[in-house]
Amino acid sequence: MIKLHLPTSDEEIRKLRVGDQVMLNGTMITARDAAHHYMVETFIRQEVPDGERETYDKLKSVLSGSVIYHCGPVVKEEGGKYRFVAAGPTTSSREEPYEHLIIREFNVKGIIGKGGMGPKTLEACQKYSAVYFHAVGGAATFTAQAVREVLDVYKLDLGVPEAMWVIRVEDFPVVVTMDAHGDSLHAKVARESQDNLDDLLASF
Protein backbone atom coordinates (compact mmCIF):
# COMPACT_ATOMS: atom_id res chain seq x y z
CA MET A 1 0.00 0.00 0.00
CA ILE A 2 1.39 3.39 -1.04
CA LYS A 3 0.76 6.50 1.05
CA LEU A 4 0.52 9.66 -1.04
CA HIS A 5 0.45 13.07 0.61
CA LEU A 6 -1.36 15.94 -1.06
CA PRO A 7 -0.35 18.26 -2.56
CA THR A 8 2.15 16.10 -4.42
CA SER A 9 4.72 16.43 -7.20
CA ASP A 10 5.14 15.24 -10.77
CA GLU A 11 7.95 12.98 -9.54
CA GLU A 12 5.71 11.19 -7.02
CA ILE A 13 2.89 10.81 -9.55
CA ARG A 14 5.21 9.25 -12.14
CA LYS A 15 6.19 6.58 -9.62
CA LEU A 16 2.60 5.29 -9.67
CA ARG A 17 1.51 2.54 -12.04
CA VAL A 18 -1.80 0.96 -12.98
CA GLY A 19 -2.79 -1.46 -10.23
CA ASP A 20 -1.11 0.39 -7.37
CA GLN A 21 -3.19 0.62 -4.20
CA VAL A 22 -2.90 4.07 -2.65
CA MET A 23 -3.96 5.80 0.55
CA LEU A 24 -4.43 9.54 -0.01
CA ASN A 25 -3.72 12.01 2.77
CA GLY A 26 -4.12 15.77 2.64
CA THR A 27 -6.37 18.31 0.96
CA MET A 28 -8.47 17.72 -2.14
CA ILE A 29 -11.69 19.03 -3.67
CA THR A 30 -14.95 17.54 -4.94
CA ALA A 31 -16.35 18.54 -8.33
CA ARG A 32 -19.09 17.11 -10.53
CA ASP A 33 -20.79 18.13 -13.78
CA ALA A 34 -21.86 21.67 -12.89
CA ALA A 35 -18.53 22.50 -11.26
CA HIS A 36 -16.53 21.26 -14.25
CA HIS A 37 -18.72 23.25 -16.64
CA TYR A 38 -18.35 26.33 -14.44
CA MET A 39 -14.56 26.09 -14.26
CA VAL A 40 -14.09 25.58 -17.98
CA GLU A 41 -16.56 28.21 -19.14
CA THR A 42 -15.55 30.82 -16.54
CA PHE A 43 -11.79 30.36 -16.26
CA ILE A 44 -10.52 28.61 -19.38
CA ARG A 45 -12.65 29.56 -22.39
CA GLN A 46 -12.50 33.26 -21.56
CA GLU A 47 -10.48 35.75 -19.58
CA VAL A 48 -11.21 35.37 -15.89
CA PRO A 49 -13.92 37.95 -15.04
CA ASP A 50 -13.00 40.49 -12.39
CA GLY A 51 -15.80 39.25 -10.16
CA GLU A 52 -14.47 35.68 -10.33
CA ARG A 53 -10.77 36.43 -9.84
CA GLU A 54 -10.76 35.67 -6.11
CA THR A 55 -12.45 32.31 -6.60
CA TYR A 56 -10.07 31.45 -9.44
CA ASP A 57 -7.02 32.25 -7.30
CA LYS A 58 -8.33 30.17 -4.39
CA LEU A 59 -9.14 27.19 -6.62
CA LYS A 60 -5.74 27.46 -8.29
CA SER A 61 -4.08 27.32 -4.88
CA VAL A 62 -6.13 24.35 -3.67
CA LEU A 63 -5.94 22.32 -6.88
CA SER A 64 -2.26 22.75 -7.74
CA GLY A 65 -0.61 19.43 -6.94
CA SER A 66 -3.84 18.03 -5.58
CA VAL A 67 -6.80 15.88 -6.61
CA ILE A 68 -10.36 16.34 -7.87
CA TYR A 69 -12.90 13.86 -6.53
CA HIS A 70 -15.93 13.15 -8.72
CA CYS A 71 -18.38 13.04 -5.86
CA GLY A 72 -21.79 14.45 -4.95
CA PRO A 73 -21.62 14.14 -1.18
CA VAL A 74 -24.36 14.06 1.41
CA VAL A 75 -23.38 16.81 3.83
CA LYS A 76 -24.72 17.66 7.27
CA GLU A 77 -24.35 21.04 8.95
CA GLU A 78 -23.66 20.91 12.68
CA GLY A 79 -22.98 23.98 14.78
CA GLY A 80 -21.93 26.06 11.80
CA LYS A 81 -19.59 23.36 10.51
CA TYR A 82 -20.09 20.81 7.75
CA ARG A 83 -19.60 17.06 7.97
CA PHE A 84 -19.65 14.47 5.16
CA VAL A 85 -22.23 11.76 5.80
CA ALA A 86 -21.81 9.92 2.50
CA ALA A 87 -19.12 10.42 -0.12
CA GLY A 88 -19.25 7.78 -2.84
CA PRO A 89 -17.72 8.31 -6.28
CA THR A 90 -19.81 9.29 -9.28
CA THR A 91 -19.31 8.17 -12.89
CA SER A 92 -16.32 9.99 -14.35
CA SER A 93 -17.03 9.67 -18.07
CA ARG A 94 -19.36 12.68 -18.00
CA GLU A 95 -16.36 14.90 -17.28
CA GLU A 96 -14.31 13.68 -20.25
CA PRO A 97 -15.00 16.85 -22.34
CA TYR A 98 -13.61 19.04 -19.54
CA GLU A 99 -11.01 17.16 -17.54
CA HIS A 100 -7.99 17.55 -19.80
CA LEU A 101 -8.48 21.32 -19.79
CA ILE A 102 -8.77 21.46 -16.00
CA ILE A 103 -5.73 19.24 -15.45
CA ARG A 104 -3.70 21.61 -17.61
CA GLU A 105 -5.05 24.89 -16.24
CA PHE A 106 -5.00 24.04 -12.54
CA ASN A 107 -2.01 21.64 -12.35
CA VAL A 108 -4.22 18.82 -11.05
CA LYS A 109 -2.26 15.65 -10.25
CA GLY A 110 -5.10 13.19 -9.81
CA ILE A 111 -8.74 12.46 -10.55
CA ILE A 112 -10.86 10.17 -8.37
CA GLY A 113 -14.08 8.58 -9.59
CA LYS A 114 -15.52 5.36 -10.92
CA GLY A 115 -15.69 3.86 -14.38
CA GLY A 116 -12.55 5.46 -15.78
CA MET A 117 -12.10 8.16 -18.40
CA GLY A 118 -11.26 8.42 -22.07
CA PRO A 119 -8.36 9.25 -24.37
CA LYS A 120 -8.32 13.03 -23.82
CA THR A 121 -7.88 12.58 -20.10
CA LEU A 122 -5.31 9.81 -20.57
CA GLU A 123 -3.29 12.04 -22.89
CA ALA A 124 -3.43 14.87 -20.33
CA CYS A 125 -2.25 12.48 -17.62
CA GLN A 126 0.83 11.69 -19.73
CA LYS A 127 1.51 15.27 -20.74
CA TYR A 128 0.98 16.93 -17.36
CA SER A 129 1.86 14.07 -14.96
CA ALA A 130 -1.48 13.04 -13.49
CA VAL A 131 -3.29 9.79 -12.70
CA TYR A 132 -6.83 8.50 -12.45
CA PHE A 133 -7.75 6.83 -9.18
CA HIS A 134 -10.66 4.40 -8.98
CA ALA A 135 -12.66 4.57 -5.74
CA VAL A 136 -14.97 1.87 -4.46
CA GLY A 137 -18.60 2.40 -5.38
CA GLY A 138 -21.45 1.38 -3.09
CA ALA A 139 -19.55 2.24 0.09
CA ALA A 140 -20.38 5.93 0.43
CA THR A 141 -20.76 5.92 4.21
CA PHE A 142 -17.49 4.03 4.67
CA THR A 143 -15.66 6.38 2.30
CA ALA A 144 -16.97 9.42 4.18
CA GLN A 145 -15.11 8.22 7.28
CA ALA A 146 -11.85 9.11 5.53
CA VAL A 147 -13.04 12.71 5.18
CA ARG A 148 -11.83 14.14 8.45
CA GLU A 149 -12.61 17.81 7.92
CA VAL A 150 -14.46 20.16 5.57
CA LEU A 151 -12.16 23.13 5.10
CA ASP A 152 -14.17 25.28 2.70
CA VAL A 153 -16.82 25.21 -0.01
CA TYR A 154 -17.14 27.06 -3.32
CA LYS A 155 -20.23 27.57 -5.50
CA LEU A 156 -22.70 26.34 -2.91
CA ASP A 157 -25.32 28.08 -5.05
CA LEU A 158 -25.01 25.10 -7.44
CA GLY A 159 -26.48 22.88 -4.71
CA VAL A 160 -24.81 20.65 -2.14
CA PRO A 161 -23.96 17.73 -4.49
CA GLU A 162 -22.61 20.02 -7.22
CA ALA A 163 -20.68 22.44 -4.99
CA MET A 164 -16.89 22.23 -4.74
CA TRP A 165 -16.06 21.01 -1.25
CA VAL A 166 -12.49 21.42 -0.01
CA ILE A 167 -11.80 18.48 2.29
CA ARG A 168 -8.98 17.02 4.34
CA VAL A 169 -8.71 13.26 4.07
CA GLU A 170 -6.79 10.59 5.94
CA ASP A 171 -6.05 7.19 4.39
CA PHE A 172 -8.57 7.61 1.59
CA PRO A 173 -8.39 4.26 -0.30
CA VAL A 174 -8.05 4.26 -4.10
CA VAL A 175 -6.49 2.20 -6.91
CA VAL A 176 -4.56 3.63 -9.87
CA THR A 177 -6.35 2.60 -13.07
CA MET A 178 -4.89 5.21 -15.47
CA ASP A 179 -1.30 6.34 -15.02
CA ALA A 180 1.06 9.01 -16.31
CA HIS A 181 2.77 6.51 -18.65
CA GLY A 182 -0.18 5.97 -20.98
CA ASP A 183 -1.54 2.80 -19.39
CA SER A 184 -5.28 2.49 -18.77
CA LEU A 185 -6.92 -0.51 -17.17
CA HIS A 186 -10.27 0.70 -18.52
CA ALA A 187 -9.02 0.75 -22.11
CA LYS A 188 -7.47 -2.69 -21.64
CA VAL A 189 -10.71 -4.17 -20.31
CA ALA A 190 -12.67 -2.58 -23.17
CA ARG A 191 -10.29 -4.07 -25.77
CA GLU A 192 -10.32 -7.52 -24.21
CA SER A 193 -14.10 -7.47 -23.88
CA GLN A 194 -14.49 -6.51 -27.53
CA ASP A 195 -12.07 -9.27 -28.60
CA ASN A 196 -14.03 -11.82 -26.56
CA LEU A 197 -17.29 -10.61 -28.06
CA ASP A 198 -15.86 -10.81 -31.59
CA ASP A 199 -14.68 -14.38 -30.95
CA LEU A 200 -18.07 -15.34 -29.55
CA LEU A 201 -19.96 -13.89 -32.49
CA ALA A 202 -17.57 -15.54 -34.97
CA SER A 203 -18.38 -18.92 -33.50
CA PHE A 204 -22.04 -18.74 -34.56
19 touches 2 (CB < 8 A): no
Contacts of 189 (CB under 8 A, 6+ apart): none
**Domain spans in the chain, listed from the N-terminal domain onward:** 2-202
> 173 preceded by cis ω (within 30°)?
no
Of 36, 70, 100, 186, which residue is the catalytic one?
36
pLDDT tens track for 125-165: 999 999 999 998 777 888 899 999 999 999 999 999 999 99
Q: Whole-prediction pTM value?
A: 0.90
Query: Which of 77-102 are b and which e, b meaning 16 or more Cβ less than 10 Å from the residue's Cβ?
Result: eeeeebbbebbbbbebbbbbebbbbb
Average pLDDT over residues 42-49: 95
Residue 194 has pLDDT above 60, yes or no: no
pLDDT band at 195 (very low <50, low <70, confident <90, very high): very low
The reported pLDDT for the residue numbered 79 is: 85
pLDDT tens track for 52-107: 999 999 999 999 999 999 999 999 998 889 999 999 999 999 999 999 999 999 99
* Alpha carbons 18 and 33: distance in angstroms, whole number: 26
Q: Does the annotation mark 36 as catalytic?
A: yes
Q: Domain 2-202 is of which CATH architecture?
A: Alpha-Beta Barrel (3.20)
Average pLDDT over residues 182-201: 62
Mean pLDDT of the chain: 91
The reported pLDDT for the residue numbered 80 is: 84
The reported pLDDT for the residue numbered 141 is: 85
* Alpha carbons 121 and 60: distance in angstroms, whole number: 19
The reported pLDDT for the residue numbered 111 is: 98
Rounded to the nearest 10 degrees, the angle between the axes of helix 119-128 and helix 96-106 is: 10
Residue 190 has pLDDT above 80, yes or no: no
Residue 197 has pLDDT above 50, yes or no: no
Strand ranges in 81-200 using DSSP code E only, listed in sequence order? 81-86, 110-113, 131-134, 147-154, 164-178
Residue 21 has pLDDT above 60, yes or no: yes
Contacts of 4 (CB under 8 A, 6+ apart): 12, 16, 22, 23, 24, 25
